[in-house]
A and B are shown apart, each in its own frame.
Chain A
Amino acid sequence: MELGAVVVVPAEEDFAAIHGSETQTMASSGNSRPLYSSRVPILGNDVLRSWMERVRKLGVPSVWLTSSSSDETVAGSVLAGFARQGVERLLVIKLKSYAELDLADLLRFHCEKRNPVTEAEDARGQLGVSLSDHLALRMAGEKHELPGAADDHWRNAYEFSGYAKRILSARERQELVRDGLTGACAIRPLGTEIREQVWIGEGVKLADSVKVIGPSYIGARTIVHAGATIGPFASVEPDCVVDCGTTVERSTVLPYTYLAPGLLIRRELVDGGYLENMGWGAVADLQPAGLGSRIHRIKERRQAFSKTATDVVSRANRDAARGFARPPTASQPWVQVQL
């Protein structure tokens, strides 16, 4: 039985930057909107990498990566291409959730139930992880997509009751941060635990008067100026600057964000010049008031990105990709990653 695996990264991702292409720069995804991206680190961790590790444990030698249109579907012609290549079962992971899913158990369930498509779900709906067999893949080629929700006889739900969070939601992302900091899930802050429940990444600079209240995480190369308070339940991801007297509490600050002096960031997700309040869901532009901005260090950013988050992707075999089923549009690049 040949098992193939595809990871679909939501469309707005800077897919080119994953593998160091010069065709797009990180700056292009800069300040245009809040970026609750599935590729932005969580406590310094890359969710894509955690999924690829789970796939590797299944014994799958490689995974195909692609970005997708906004509906996150893979074109039926591409799926049919997998069937033509001899793939008997295809695991599709849409990178929109962090789930501590046992993929081997999902595969066993799929084989036992003998349904063409098995979709992993928890109490709140689909997790974006599915298994399709050869018949479903061939059907997808004819119908241009996998059998839909209406085709109930084609689909079987794999009920997952373990830990899962939708990482494209600011609130659930913050819940994941909280659980990672307190050990309530498997994700762990990427850094050194300098005291109980306080993690610091490499090259962090903290002024003497900075107060860090655990549980908290400060990512690599972040600078925190005098009088600032970080925590509790705060994650300041790598390469940020928190200016004097600012408090970050029960919040996440995404990489390459500058926060002005004297602010109170409470139950918020900040990405460059934008801030989302998790209570009201309101998104505010901090830039006109000079309260926050994106730090542009494209070269360093790309180096850090490739080093910490995507070294697995850097081994991508592009030559193999050329001989494979091509995506229907040039905007849907494919990269094969050896695991």
Chain B
Amino acid sequence: MKNPWTILPFPCASSASGRRTLRKDLLSALGASGSPVIVDLSACRTLNHEDIDLLLECVAQVSGRDTQVLFVAGSRVNRVLLEVTRISSLVPVFDSVNEALAYPQVAVKHDAENRLAS
């Protein structure tokens, strides 16, 4: 059974070319996905201005569409930065992937898709 959600790693701490590729993958996945997308920032020690720009692009990518996006901050520092930049007022932010998966809107969609599959 296909997972009803998509977990995408956030492209941080990679080379410029690797970052470009991951950025492209992330945005196209957000554009294509109909299921909830969890963007995982756990590998990012901190966020720079490119990261903030990309997170805002992610928000823009799904706005007006049916796709639910959630961010996993991965650390308190990242969470603080997401709050300071007001990104957390646009997108639900969680400390861990497990916490994000327990988010009611993800869980409801998950249950519904499980029912359909069975």
Contacts and interface: CB of A to CB of B under 8 A. Distances in A.
Interface string B33-49: 00000000000001111
A268 B81 CA distance: 12
A289 B86 contact: no
A56 interface: no
Contacts of A204: none
Nearest to A246: B84
B65 to A, nearest CB: 24
A286 B49 CA distance: 10
A265 B51 CA distance: 19
B79 A280 contact: yes
A289 B80 contact: no
A282 B76 contact: yes
A277 B76 contact: yes
Given A284-B46, A285-B46, A291 B85 contact: yes
B83 A266 contact: yes
Contacts of B49: 288-290
Interface size classification for chain A:
10 to 19
Nearest to B86: A264
B43 to A, nearest CB: 16
Interface string A145-186: 000000000000000000000000000000000000000000
A280 B85 contact: no
A291 B83 CA distance: 12
A290 B51 CA distance: 11
B47 A286 contact: no
A55 interface: no
Nearest to A270: B84
A121 B89 CA distance: 43
Q: Which of A263, A264, A290 has the most CB of B within 10 A?
A: A264
B52 interface: yes
B80 to A, nearest CB: 5
Contacts, number: 55
Given A284-B46, A289-B48, A289-B52, A263 B86 contact: yes
A328 interface: no
A34 B76 CA distance: 16
A210 interface: no
Contacts of B46: 284-285, 288-289
Interface range, B side: 10 to 19
B77 interface: yes
A289 B51 contact: yes
A262 interface: yes
A268 B48 CA distance: 20
Contacts of B83: 264, 266, 277
Contacts of A290: 49
A275 interface: yes
A280 B84 contact: no
Contact of B84 (A275, A281, A283, A288): A275
Interface string A264-279: 1110100000010100
Contacts of B77: 282-285
A273 B67 CA distance: 35
Nearest to A285: B46
B86 A262 contact: yes
A290 B49 CA distance: 6
Given A264-B83, A275-B84, 4 more contacts: A263-B86, A264-B85, A280-B80, A282-B77
20 contacts: A262-B86, A263-B85, A264-B83, A264-B84, A264-B85, A264-B89, A268-B84, A277-B80, A280-B79, A281-B76, A282-B75, A282-B80, A284-B46, A286-B84, A288-B48, A289-B46, A289-B49, A289-B52, A291-B52, A291-B85
Interface of A: 262-266, 268, 275, 277, 280-286, 288-291
